[in-house]
Chain A
């Protein structure tokens, strides 16, 4: 107790030395991964997995609290100078001796962050980290019989579990377009060779998409298995419907990487979250005007996009910059200038 109080006081004193900055602003210059710093990680290596996927080895800062197999981590990466946040499943076992963690990223067409990480990320780069989170994890004790139903990069959280836990009876049905697109293919085949895993590998480019009705044939006892499914929405929707039909929906655990797709269009319904006002806005009226007309107390300034006196967090949806036409989508930490932004689809503003 006393030493904590003393430390608190010493810190206060340090703050008077560094004001208006904080001592941490100086410490960050030399030791960004230290205990007590904002959580960061350093990319130490990038290993290609397939033509468009790579595994990043990350040394997390001292504040990292570890993870449970199957969880994901949100990372903040600077792409072309802009900090962007994305969530990726952790693919390393939880007890890696060097304390590093890995995420495995598949480059999606047009994906700013995924393409950057897979093709351009450099060892040595600092990134921002959140603590690991997610409910897509195994219960304790581990279930006797497990089914993993995965497709594409949906393999990543499952690989985290396979690497972390020894199962008695585990079956996996995994789909990818072609053999060379199967992420972790060698690791999976090693597990199969060691008889630790039974694997059905489907190649959708030649065999077509998995018909969920085929499960009876592929995994006859699927309904008895505790199942974790991860992959594109189509697969998960089909699985949820199938498990529900058979009355075993409590055995199915799913993970959706992108729960909602931002619809960007021209105008939309604007929600002012704090005041609870919801109004329809067109694609040409600045959100500042929309809010003021709806009686929301909006901060404002020059009303022409130069003073930044009106910036407001965008919590959901998308807005269009009326000067450049540029679309901004909601992400944590994204602020918009309401005087030059209009609704580009439904959006949610913190006012």
Chain B
């Protein structure tokens, strides 16, 4: 936790004014949302399906090395798009306004081992409501890592660079375990809880289906190319996992991002909630293609301010949001992907070692955004 509150210069009235200005940005997008946006998501969905179909088709001949390369690359991209620009955003309800039951947060399922329902709860509800609040937002370190100086150090944390790497490789399984709150639910008592068992079963079913598809049915369809198709699908899943893990690490872990005390969100106003999202998120700068391949999560700040606005609008919103950061003299944390990934990994390494006790704890009361 930072010793100096980077929002200390703002008065309560200013924070509420900031909230109103952000609401106005939101209203503007909602008023403008229409045919073009609908056409955009439909086009992305069709293109993704086309690409996946074509790549799987090419992989039927994956014993032939060029086919393996092309098919694997195509499938990796298809899986990334499916999870990020489509799945993540549809499950956020970003496209619910279209009233198309096929592209709706209540009906969508994604190419992922975490069932959509469970992910929506842990991600949309918990993470997005309690963004970066220690003890409430488990996305901070996913419950397995120490990501803040004020978290108590334990010798197990020495291994966290390794945990983080393994989590990156098998990220979708990590997410599923995380959505299940596996860590909390492993003790005997909770394991027997019928609600937990039902959820665990749902994950089991989803894993079975996913594994059957990727590692049995498609390889079998390839006949003599069985093994090479198996390797191709494994590679595509690995690429997708590494990529999404990297992008997601950049959203809240890089240096400069703030975390918050539980107490700081008591009686939080709309303006304060917005401010917490602004200070708790970080962007990735880059080209249009980069934003597209991250599912526009490169605009993490904008996404956290307006999680249900269509992702194709984040780029234009970002200009206005950044102007507000400047107006209110706040730090807009952004940088190119390699820099942000390095920054996040650096933190993982740094905090695997014990640090000197933070001054904040003992000196002034914890930083809080509650206006008195």
Which residues of A are in contact with B by a Cβ distance under 8 Å?
13, 16-21, 25-26, 29, 78, 80-84, 301-302, 304-309, 311, 323-324, 326, 331, 333-335
Contact = CB atoms under 8 A, between A and B. Distances in A.
11 contacts: A19-B212, A26-B49, A80-B35, A81-B35, A81-B98, A82-B99, A302-B128, A302-B129, A306-B307, A307-B125, A311-B105
Given A29-B49, A29-B50, A83-B98, A19 B120 contact: no
B100 interface: yes
Given A16-B209, A81-B34, A307-B125, 16 more contacts: A16-B213, A17-B213, A18-B213, A20-B209, A25-B49, A80-B34, A81-B37, A81-B98, A301-B124, A304-B129, A306-B307, A307-B128, A308-B93, A308-B106, A308-B120, A324-B27
Contacts of B93: 307-308, 311
Given A17-B221, A29-B49, A324-B27, A335 B97 contact: no
Given A29-B50, A324-B27, A309 B128 contact: no
B99 A301 contact: no
B194 interface: no
B92 interface: yes
A125 B218 CA distance: 35
B261 interface: no
Interface of B: 23, 26-27, 30, 33-39, 46, 49-50, 53, 92-93, 96-102, 104-106, 109-111, 120-121, 124-125, 128-129, 206, 209-210, 212-213, 217-218, 221, 273, 307-308
A45 B209 CA distance: 44
Contacts of A21: 49, 109
A29 B111 CA distance: 19
Nearest to A334: B99
Nearest to A311: B106
A304 B30 CA distance: 17
B264 to A, nearest CB: 17
B222 to A, nearest CB: 12
Contact of A26 (B53, B104, B106, B307): B53
A38 to B, nearest CB: 9
Contacts, number: 104
For A20, A29, A84, A335, the residue with the greatest tally of chain B CB atoms inside 10 Å of its CB is A20
Contacts of A309: 120-121, 124-125
Contacts of A13: 217
Q: Which 6 A-B pairs have the closest CB atoms?
A: A81-B38, A308-B93, A307-B124, A20-B109, A80-B34, A301-B125
B124 A302 contact: yes
Contact of A29 (B46, B92, B206, B217): B46
B221 A20 contact: no
Nearest to A85: B99
B156 to A, nearest CB: 32
B199 to A, nearest CB: 15
Contact of B120 (A20, A25, A307, A331): A307
Given A17-B218, A26-B53, A302-B129, A308 B35 contact: no
Nearest to B116: A20
A256 to B, nearest CB: 25
Contact of B209 (A19, A26, A308, A334): A19
B308 A19 contact: no
Contacts of B35: 78, 80-81
A306 B49 contact: no
B30 A81 contact: no
A84 B125 contact: no
A16 B111 CA distance: 12
Given A81-B35, A308-B120, A323-B23, A20 B110 contact: yes
A19 B115 CA distance: 12
Contacts of A78: 35, 38, 98, 100
Given A308-B92, A335-B106, A20 B111 contact: yes
Contacts of A323: 23, 26
For A17, A302, A306, the residue with the greatest tally of chain B CB atoms inside 10 Å of its CB is A306
A120 to B, nearest CB: 10
Contacts of B27: 324
Nearest to A25: B49
A96 to B, nearest CB: 30
B308 A308 contact: yes
A299 to B, nearest CB: 10
B85 to A, nearest CB: 16
B124 A306 contact: yes
A301 B104 CA distance: 17
Contacts of B308: 305-306, 308
A301 B106 CA distance: 14
